[in-house]
A = this chain, B = another copy of it.
Amino acid sequence: MKSKAAIFEAIGKPLIVDEIEVDDPGPGECLVKLEATGLCHTEIWYMGGGDNVDYEQLSPRILGHEGGGVVVKCGAGVTSLQEGDHVVPLYISECGTCPECRDPNTNLCSYLDDKGYYEGAMLDGRPRFRWRGRSAYHFMGTSTFSQYTVVPEVALAKIRPDAPLNRVCLLGCAITTGVGAALWTARVRPGDSVAVFGCGPIGLNVVQGARLALAEKIIAVDLKPERLQKAKELGATHLIDARKHGGNATAAVKSLTGGGADFIFEATGNTHVMRQAFEAVRYGGGKCVLIGVAKTGEEVSLVPRMLIAGRQLTGTAFGGCKGRTQLPWLVNWYMDGRLKIDALVTKEIPLTQINEAFAWMKQDQGYRYIVRYDM
């Protein structure tokens, strides 16, 4: 079947908006017709050269990992989904049976990894996409930059059909990552003090995750006043403009929390800010959670004594969310008004504008851009 898509062809080049061919789903796979997809900095990172340690820069490739759509065809053996189901593709699957799925403390299902999905193909070693006579590779198991995409059953979260797909598509990455970092990775408890370093599209969702967890102090740190105002809108109780502190908010956060916060989240990807964030958690159990992705080759350096005094450092991927089980909960919270998504949507665009939107994102304009395939 034919599908409109945005194709990655080479590092440093814009995506090519064109028509591709999508094959039928194989065993254990579903063909999904997407209504919308979010644009995430991960794609910008990949298009700029990515990280050759973990991924070969496969080409041509269909990027995208924040989709919302409807199942239009199920491959052989698919039992948990059927035609017409509304779904959000998951770049971290939930197979339910691997050691990680059976561990309540992690969401890092190893199914996609073990089966080679991250190599850009499905289980039989072949991609389901073709473009100009060549195979086009999958990306993160999701490939939401094609209106029709093929996704393994275990990487599709079934959601309630009344939820607007052009909003809950953002649960496929940013919203869940931020909210989940507070709820599942850190397990923020009522009354805790929380600081968020970096109030971009991820950090803002940590703020609302902390609010949902009933944190008492929610300190937002950023360099931009408009982002701090947005953080306030989403639940921040205290705002720190890091520019007023020489670019380092550590002392200000310690002062606001009587020595250090219970939890600090780093959502910039800057390794210097990671260190500042770590140094602002309280001794004796304060935890710093890294969310931002550092540039390839950059490392974070720490004074061991600060760890000896009981500070903890960890990180989160997809907010520790077990997608098939827990993502539908976030859909419910959105539908009943507890979780804010609309406030984060800057603009909806047709697929043809995708490269333009990436340019806006690189300039940190706005928050989230959504491609609607019906536009």
- Once A103-B285, A105-B284, A285-B103 are accepted as A-B contacts, the answer to whether A314 and B307 lie under 8 Å apart by CB is yes
A285 CA / B285 CA spacing, docked (Å): 16
A340 CA / B288 CA spacing, docked (Å): 36
Q: CB of A311 within 8 A of chain B? A: yes
Q: CB of A52 within 8 A of chain B? A: no
Give the copy number. 2
Task: Report the minimal beta-carbon distance from A257 to chain B, rounded to whole angstroms.
Answer: 12
A103 CA / B286 CA spacing, docked (Å): 12
Partner of A304, one of B285, B290, B320: B290
- Once A103-B284, A316-B310 are accepted as A-B contacts, the answer to whether A294 and B298 lie under 8 Å apart by CB is no
Task: Report the minimal beta-carbon distance from A287 to chain B, rounded to whole angstroms.
Answer: 8
Mark A292-304 against chain B: 1 for CB-CB distance below 8 A, else 0.
1110001111111
Q: Is the CB of B304 within 8 A of A301?
A: no
A303 CA / B300 CA spacing, docked (Å): 7
A contacts, CB < 8 Å to B: 51, 54, 100, 103, 105-108, 185, 271, 274, 283-285, 290-294, 298-317, 320
A-B contact pairs, 29 of them (CB 8 A): A105-B285, A106-B284, A106-B285, A108-B283, A108-B284, A108-B309, A271-B304, A274-B304, A290-B304, A290-B307, A290-B308, A292-B304, A293-B304, A299-B301, A299-B303, A299-B304, A300-B302, A301-B301, A301-B302, A302-B302, A304-B315, A307-B313, A307-B315, A308-B317, A309-B317, A310-B314, A310-B315, A310-B316, A310-B320
